[in-house]
C-alpha cells in the first residue's frame, strides 16, 4: 500500500460537500455549464446563501428542474417557489420533501454535528488525540447518523489506532450511505489488502477510480496491487497515470524505475 495510515479527506468538509453535489448533478444528466449558470443566478438573487453549489438539488421525477432549499422552501435559482416544506402550498401530486425539518431544533442539531465533525478533523492526525477525535466523530454521528464523511473519518482513526474490525464497519456503513464515497472505498481497499483479500480490495479501488480518476495516490495503490496479482501491464498503466497526475510526487521515482525496467533489453540465451 502507498501509506500505512489511512487518509482523511485532503479538502475541508465544505469542499467535499460541493464536489459531491457537483458529481451528483452531473450523474443525473445536468451539464456543468447549466450548473454554472444556476450558481451565477443564485449568487445574484440570493447573495446571502452560503455554498450555493452544495444547496442545489434536482427536483421532480422527470429530473429537469434545478432547485435550492432556502428558508424551508424549494425555489428555482430565478426565485420562483417550487415546494413549501410546510405543506401549505403543496399540490396533491407534489412529491413529499425528503429533508423536511422535524422541528426547530433540527437546524441547531445540524450545526452541532458540523461543529463536532470539524473538531474531529482537527484532532484525528495525531496519535495523542485519536481518542478525542473518536469521541467527536461518534457524537457527530449520534446527532446525524447519515453523515457519511463522519463514518469514514471515524473508521480511519480507528484503523490508525490499531482497531481494524470496527474501522471496517465504519467504512462499510459510509458506503451504505454513499456508494460513491471515494475515501471510504480507498480506505476499505487498504484494509482488505492487509487482510489478504486482494480481489475484494481491487474491486473497491476500481469503484474509487470511477468516482475520482484524478486521485494520484489511488493509482499508486492499484499499480502495486496489480504487480502483486501478476498483472504487470495494468500496473504500468497506473504508474504512467500517476506520473501524469503527480510527476514530482513521493512515488514518482519508484514509478519511473518500474517503467524503465520494462524498457530494458531482455537477455537472450
Mean pLDDT per segment of 10 residues, for the chain of length 269 residues? 48 56 64 68 68 58 55 55 42 37 59 93 95 97 94 96 96 95 96 96 96 94 95 94 94 94 61
Residue 179 makes CB contacts below 8 A (sequence gap 6+) with 207
Q: Which of 91, 108, 103, 166 is nearest to 134 (CA)?
A: 166
Domain ranges of the chain: 13-84, 105-192, 213-263
Q: What confidence score (pLDDT) does residue 99 get?
A: 36
Answer whether 49's CB lies under 8 Å from 40's CB. Answer: no
pLDDT at 58: 52
- Secondary structure (3-state) at 59: strand
Contacts of 129 (CB under 8 A, 6+ apart): 123
Report yes or no: 56 and 63 within 8 Å, Cβ to Cβ. Answer: no
Name the nearest CA neighbour of 112 among 74, 150, 80. Answer: 150
Query: Residue 225's pLDDT is what?
Result: 96
Considering only CA atoms, give the Rg of the chain: 22
Distance CA 242, CA 132 (A): 35
Closest alpha carbon to 74 in 101, 48, 47: 101
Topology given in CATH for the domain delimited by 105-192: 1.25.40
Displacement of CA 152 from its chain's centroid (Å): 9
Alpha helices by DSSP H, the chain? 13-27, 32-45, 52-55, 105-123, 130-143, 148-160, 164-177, 182-194, 198-211, 216-228, 232-245, 252-263
What is the model's pLDDT at position 255?
95
Residue written as cell 469514514?
Answer: 152
Q: What is the pLDDT of residue 262?
A: 72
Q: What is the pLDDT of residue 75?
A: 61
What pLDDT is recorded for position 105?
Answer: 56
Report yes or no: 242 and 223 within 8 Å, Cβ to Cβ. yes
SS3 label, residue 265: coil
pLDDT of residue 60: 44
What 3-state class would DSSP assign to 74? Answer: strand
The Cα 103–Cα 77 span in angstroms is: 26
Pairing of strands 73-75, 81-84: antiparallel
**DSSP 8-state code for residue 229:** T
Amino acid at each position: 500500500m502507498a501509506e500505512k495510515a489511512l487518509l482523511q479527506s485532503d479538502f475541508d468538509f465544505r469542499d467535499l460537500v460541493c464536489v459531491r453535489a457537483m458529481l451528483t448533478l452531473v450523474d443525473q444528466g445536468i451539464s456543468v455549464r447549466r450548473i454554472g449558470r444556476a450558481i451565477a443566478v443564485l449568487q445574484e438573487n440570493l447573495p446571502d446563501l452560503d455554498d450555493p453549489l452544495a444547496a442545489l438539488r434536482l427536483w421532480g421525477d422527470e429530473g429537469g428542474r434545478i432547485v435550492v432549499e432556502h428558508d424551508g422552501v424549494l425555489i428555482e435559482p430565478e426565485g420562483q417557489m417550487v415546494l413549501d416544506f410546510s405543506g401549505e402550498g403543496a399540490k396533491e401530486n407534489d412529491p413529499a420533501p425528503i429533508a423536511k425539518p422535524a422541528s426547530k431544533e433540527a437546524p441547531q442539531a445540524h450545526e452541532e454535528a458540523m461543529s463536532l465533525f470539524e473538531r474531529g478533523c482537527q484532532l484525528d492526525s495525531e496519535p495523542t488525540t485519536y481518542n478525542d477525535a473518536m469521541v467527536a466523530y461518534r457524537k457527530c454521528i449520534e446527532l446525524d447518523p447519515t453523515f457519511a464523511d463522519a463514518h469514514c473519518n471515524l473508521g480511519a482513526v480507528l484503523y490508525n489506532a490499531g482497531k481494524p474490525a470496527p474501522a471496517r464497519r465504519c467504512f462499510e456503513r459510509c458506503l451504505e450511505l454513499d456508494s460513491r464515497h471515494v475515501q471510504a472505498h480507498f480506505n476499505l481497499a487498504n484494509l482488505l489488502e492487509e487482510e489478504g483479500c486482494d480481489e475484494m480490495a481491487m474491486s473497491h479501488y476500481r469503484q474509487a477510480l470511477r468516482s475520482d480518476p484524478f486521485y494520484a495516490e489511488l493509482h499508486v495503490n492499484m499499480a502495486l496491487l496489480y504487480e502483486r496479482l501478476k498483472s504487470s501491464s495494468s500496473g504500468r498503466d497506473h504508474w504512467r497515470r500517476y506520473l501524469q497526475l503527480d510527476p514530482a510526487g513521493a512515488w514518482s521515482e519508484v514509478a519511473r524505475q518500474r517503467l524503465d525496467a520494462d524498457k530494458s533489453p531482455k537477455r537472450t540465451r
